[in-house]
Amino acid sequence: MQNIATPTPTPTHCPYCALQCGMNLTPAADGTVEVSERVDFPVNRGALCGKGRTAPAVLSSRVRLTSPLVRAADGTLVEAGWDEALDRIAGALGSIRAEHGADALGVLGGGGLTNEKAYALGKFARVVLGTSQIDYNGRFCMSSAAAAGTKAFGLDRGLPFPLEDIPRTGCVILVGSNPAETMPPSLRFFRELKENGGTLIVVDPRRTKTAEQADLHLAPRPGTDLALALGLLHLVVAEGRVDEAYVAERTSGWEEARAAAMAHWPEYVERITGVPVPELREAVRMFCAPQAAMVLTARGPEQQSKGTDTVGAWINLCLATGRAGRPYSGYGCLTGQGNGQGGREHGQKADQLPGYRKLTDPAARRHVAEVWGVDPESLPGPGRSAYELLDALGRDVRSLLLMGSNPVVSAPRAAHVESRLRSLDFLAVCDVVLSETAELADVVLPVTQWAEETGTTTSLEGRVLLRRRAITPPDGVRSDLEVLHELADRLGVEKGFPADPQEVFEELRRASAGGVADYSGISYGRLAEEGGVFWPCPAGDAEVHPGTPRLFLDRFATEDGRARFVPVAHRPAAEETDEEYPVLLTTGRVVAQYQSGAQTRRVDELNAAAPGPFVELHPRLAARLGAAEGDPVAVVSRRGRAVAPARITTGIRPDTVFMPFHWPGEGRANVLTNPAMDPTSRMPEFKVCAVRVEAVR
């Protein structure tokens, strides 16, 4: 018998989306890593989408960075040692601060960063740089739902219940969410819902793979979800389906919200949305028939210049019908990025301190300053939101330190953002690959990846997870935490930036204690043992707190314990169609590519499945242009022009075209998109702008 020890698999989680599927990783003899099923994690029970399955490909040094790069005198990026690269960054940031002040230093983070990194980055900006100018890409993601959830419930945790509650409810309205492409293993929950006799309603301008599984598909004109939700609420009132006892006992503000909804007659709503009145009535009937029901939103209704009000209107529908804070009922937002939930809790957001605290709250400042060992007065105030920060680059913000985002591809009005990035005095990017944004940098630092480092993420359910290191990183790379440690040291702050993630987590626990997102009762030991803990989880004096899988069952997190209705009214998108730009563009995702594509475009199998951008359009529109399947078509907005092959389908409204945003180059969808922002969340309007479509001869 051979005496070779079989390497033990390490149970860990996927690097990509917020489902954070469990997987086992085993190092192979040839230096690669094998993914195998991890059935103990209840969310995916071993199932993975193609991205998760192929994620190890990005660990190979063939596709990744393994040496720092610095901009040479001739303008090219050349390999350099770590000391030289770090010295350059610290030197540049120090001198820009000396000349222009601390607020000339910008920082942009990401919802893919672990909790430890997000925490350390926020602290680094406030304590080491002293700048207020930090924000992160979650602003482009779920910020509208977060703002609406906080308003209505007093707390924002994307899902107030675990996904496993979905099969136990009676009806789900899935608004602008395409989990068949964006979270495939989660489809199981919707399948089980139907097997249990429940119903699924999908609201999407396109007949997506998800919509195909629905009992009812409503296809509104992009940007009109607010009117749609108000129309449904109008019918709920008109048909006497309001849960009066619940409204009286558990909510406030109903009269104003009711009055606002009554102004949205079904016929008026049909005119705005294009959804026929009988379909509105059918949706209300399906939603109100069972004891329990849910509304789940994703980027469709949220990435609008009225996203906060839109989500508010869907929450109002839940509240009026008594479908929130009760078992198997409620409103939830399907957060997107791997740590999209935790990434919005620990202080990389412009207005935020760890524990989901407010930077403007004196008590919060005192608490966090004490943990950090600094004077509360020294903490800067709130900064700008992500797009506003990108727009300020090269003006009053002279440098940017970027970790975990690729805005050249993913930001709205991307050509403008790219020119702002080029106008900086200094750009430093930490990444695993040479992204389109890293290509513009003065210094690029190659960092370790998920399987090579330990850290925690918080899934879309609010479940805090331990993502374990399974393999040794290649020579030449360092972790983001090591980078912050080294930079802090060079900028004169020797303590408080440990490179060890567990040490950072221990501090995060203390910083979050007593906050909305309280992690103080969670430890690496518990996470390893229990496989995940839902926040809030305060450190009890005597007993171990079990964590909180289900929120709001007794009371909402508002001062009086009641959920708040918000009175909202429909308003048009920032840009409506006209003679010059007669078609609406909406954007989104395909299953085989992730976000800006920086990682997934480097995986052969995924590229074979989704090789490039396309323009999805209705046969009637295609016929008007004289375009056949696969012909290049140009999409032109007030901000730019993109060209990609036509994909003709009856599954899209004839007044709308769709483009995925995963690619740079001439099919870059974001050169077209409108940066018009929601006034509360500062979310740009990725989901609707006016365009003209032309055949390319």
Ligand X SMILES: Nc1nc2c(c(=O)[nH]1)N[C@H]1C(S)=C(S)[C@@H](COP(=O)(O)OP(=O)(O)OC[C@H]3O[C@@H](n4cnc5c(=O)[nH]c(N)nc54)[C@H](O)[C@@H]3O)O[C@H]1N2
Rounded distance between C-alpha atoms, residue 598 and residue 431, angstroms: 10
Contacted by 564, from ligand SF4, ligand X, Mo ion, none: CB < 5 to 8 Å by type: none
Nearest to 355 by CA among 379, 333, 371: 371
Size of the site for ligand SF4 (CB under 6 A): 14
> Of these partners, ligand SF4, ligand X, Mo ion, none, which one is at the site of residue 558 (CB under 5 to 8 Å by kind)?
none
DSSP 413: S
The rounded distance, in Å, linking the Cα atoms of 287 and 284 is 5
Which CB atom, from 44 or from 548, has the smaller least distance to ligand SF4? 44
Instruction: List the Cα angle 129/356/121 in 5-degree steps.
Output: 25
Q: Which of residues 625-684 bind ligand X (CB under 6 A)?
A: 658, 661, 669-670, 673
Q: Min. distance of Cβ 300 from ligand X in angstroms? A: 2
Q: Residue 185 binds which entry of ligand SF4, ligand X, Mo ion, none, with Cβ cut-offs from 5 to 8 Å by kind?
A: ligand SF4
Q: Name the DSSP class of 451.
A: G
CA distances from 358 to 82, 362, 381, 488 (A): 36, 9, 10, 24
- 3 state DSSP class of 563: strand
Residue pair 404/598 in contact by the 8 Å Cβ criterion: no
| Separation CA 330–CA 556 (nearest Å) | 12
Q: Which part of the chain contacts Mo ion (CB under 5 A), choosing from 93-101, 190-198, 332-340, 598-606?
A: 332-340
Question: Is residue 639 a contact residue for ligand SF4 (CB under 6 A)?
Answer: no
* Residues in contact with ligand SF4, shown as a per-residue x/- string from 269 to 288 under the rule CB under 6 A: --------------------
Q: Does 128 sit near Mo ion (CB under 5 A)? A: no
Pick out residues in 2-21 that bind ligand X (CB under 6 A). Answer: 17
695 within 8 A of 627, measured Cβ to Cβ: yes
At 181, the amino acid letter reads E
Judged by CB under 6 A, the number of residues near ligand X is: 63
Residue 459: HSE in the Cβ half-sphere, 13 Å Cα cutoff: 27
* DSSP state at residue 560: T
Contacts with ligand X in 594-613 (CB under 6 A)? 594-596, 598-599
Report if residue 141 touches Mo ion, rule: CB under 5 A. Answer: yes
458 to 487: interface string for ligand X, x by CB under 6 A: ----------------------x-------
Q: How far apart are CA 196 and CA 190, in angstroms?
A: 10
- In whole angstroms, how close is the CB of 199 to ligand X at the nearest point? 18
The residue among 50 and 561 lying less far from ligand SF4, judged by its C-beta, is 50
Read off the tokens for 83: 């000391």
- Work out whether 114 is an interface residue with ligand SF4 (CB under 6 A): no
Residues between 488 and 527 with contacts to ligand X, criterion CB under 6 A: none
| Window of 117-125, 140-148, 220-228, 405-413 that interacts with Mo ion by CB under 5 A | 140-148
Of 496, 603, 447, 631, the residue nearest 51 (C-alpha): 603
Q: Over the range 242-259, which residues count as b (16 or more CB within 10 Å of their CB) and which as e?
A: bbeebbeebbbbbeebbe
Q: Which of 590, 591, 663, 133 is nearest to 414 (CA)?
A: 663
In whole angstroms, how close is the CB of 222 to ligand X at the nearest point?
Answer: 4
Q: Which stretch binds ligand SF4 (CB under 6 A): 14-22, 401-409, 567-575, 671-679?
A: 14-22
Cα separation, 291 vs 302, in Å, equals: 27
Site stretch for ligand X (CB under 6 A), options 67-75, 79-87, 177-185, 514-522: 177-185
- Within 18-37, the residues that bind ligand SF4 by CB under 6 A are 19-21
Q: Compute the distance between CA of residue 159 and CA of residue 296 in angstroms, rounded to an integer.
A: 9
Regarding 343 and contact with ligand SF4 (CB under 6 A), the answer is no
Tokens, residue 607:
């590229």
Answer yes or no whether residue 334 interacts with ligand SF4 by CB under 6 A. Answer: no
141, 183, 333, 465: which one contacts ligand SF4 (CB under 6 A)?
Answer: 183
With 0-12 CB in 10 A as exposed, 13-18 as middle and 19+ as buried, what is 570? buried
Place of tokens 């769709």: 658
Is residue 564 helix, strand or coil? Answer: strand
The three-state DSSP-derived secondary structure of 643-654 is EEEEEECCCECC
457 contacts ligand SF4 (rule: CB under 6 A): no
Cβ atoms of 465 and 124 within 8 Å: the answer is no
Q: Of the candidates 103, 135, 165, 181, which one interacts with ligand X according to CB under 6 A?
A: 181
Least Å from the CB of residue 279 to ligand SF4? 30
The residue whose two tokens read 């180059």 is 665
Peptide bond into 536 cis (omega under 30): yes
Residue selected from 124, 140, 426, 535 as contacting ligand X according to rule CB under 6 A: 140
Which one-letter amino acid corresponds to residue 464? V
x-or-dash string of contact with ligand X, 275-304, rule CB under 6 A: -----------------------xxxx-x-
According to CB under 6 A, which one of 11, 27, 52, 162 is a site residue for ligand SF4? 52
Cβ-contact 385, 108 below 8 angstroms: no
Beta carbon of residue 340, minimum distance to Mo ion (angstroms, whole number): 6
Does the N-terminal peptide bond of residue 205 adopt cis geometry, omega within 30 degrees of 0? Answer: no
Residues from 210 through 239 that contact ligand X (CB under 6 A):
222-223, 225
Regarding 49 and contact with ligand SF4 (CB under 6 A), the answer is yes
Binding test (CB under 6 A) with ligand X, winner from 270, 431, 461, 482: 431
- Between 284 and 598, name the residue whose CB sits nearer to Mo ion: 598
Q: Tell me which of Mo ion, ligand X, ligand SF4, none is bound by residue 144, counting a contact when its beta carbon lies within the kind-specific cut-off of 5 to 8 angstroms.
A: none
* Pairing between β-strand 463-467 and β-strand 455-458 as defined by DSSP bridges: antiparallel
| Residues of this chain that bind Mo ion (CB under 5 A) | 141, 336
Interface residue list for ligand SF4 (CB under 6 A): 14, 16-17, 19-21, 44, 48-49, 51-52, 183-185
Site for ligand X, rule CB under 6 A: 17, 110-113, 137, 140-141, 175-179, 181-183, 203-206, 208, 222-223, 225, 298-301, 303, 336-337, 403-407, 410, 430-433, 435, 447, 480, 586-589, 591, 593-596, 598-599, 658, 661, 669-670, 673, 686-688
